[in-house]
A = this chain, B = another copy of it.
Amino acid sequence: MDLIGNSFTGSYHYTIDAKGRVNIPAKMRKALNPVNDRTFVATRGSDPCIILYPVEVWRQIEEKLINLSKRRALHRYYTRNFVRHAEALQYDQQGRVALPAGLIRYAGIEKDAEIVGMIDHIEIWEPGRLEECDRQYEDRQDELDSISDEIFA
């Protein structure tokens, strides 16, 4: 066993099959607490990718959303847009999930997908967009360094 606690790490390249299914990397399946019953909640990321939360993590988000004011239209809109694109996905005996068509479109995924661990959740990217993201931030090394300073102070 060489997984880091119960956190999601690493990056894996997979292909989407004709039925819209992607494999969940075996290491991530092992890292998912059994209480989640093999299921993740998929939704839109703040970045243009799909996010997979273990249900236990999603629960915490839901609790905060439900405590938002129901009186304020903006708060209702916020909740709606968050929940609207969320769907529970249970992976099959082969370890695959069927990604909703809407989320595949949002992430711009065609055939290939890069699955990236983000400690408490997982991201699924169209490979080109991930590279684009790298290019976008490469000239902001100073700011990145100062984040490093905060962390390793």
Contacts and interface: CB of A to CB of B under 8 A. Distances in A.
Interface of A: 1-5, 7-11, 27, 37, 39, 41, 46-47, 55, 58-59, 61-62, 64-66, 68, 70-71, 73-81, 83-90, 100, 102, 116-120, 123, 133-134, 137, 140, 143-144, 147-148, 151
Nearest to A145: B46
Contact of A59 (B1, B5, B78, B88): B5
A84 B117 contact: yes
Given A4-B41, A119-B66, A147-B68, A46 B88 contact: no
A32 B123 CA distance: 30
Contact of A83 (B3, B9, B58, B143): B9
21 contacts: A1-B39, A2-B89, A4-B55, A4-B58, A9-B88, A10-B83, A10-B85, A11-B102, A27-B87, A46-B70, A62-B119, A66-B119, A68-B147, A75-B147, A77-B137, A78-B147, A79-B118, A79-B119, A81-B134, A83-B118, A83-B119
Contacts of A89: 2
B64 A151 contact: yes
A78 B118 CA distance: 11
Contacts of A5: 55, 59, 62
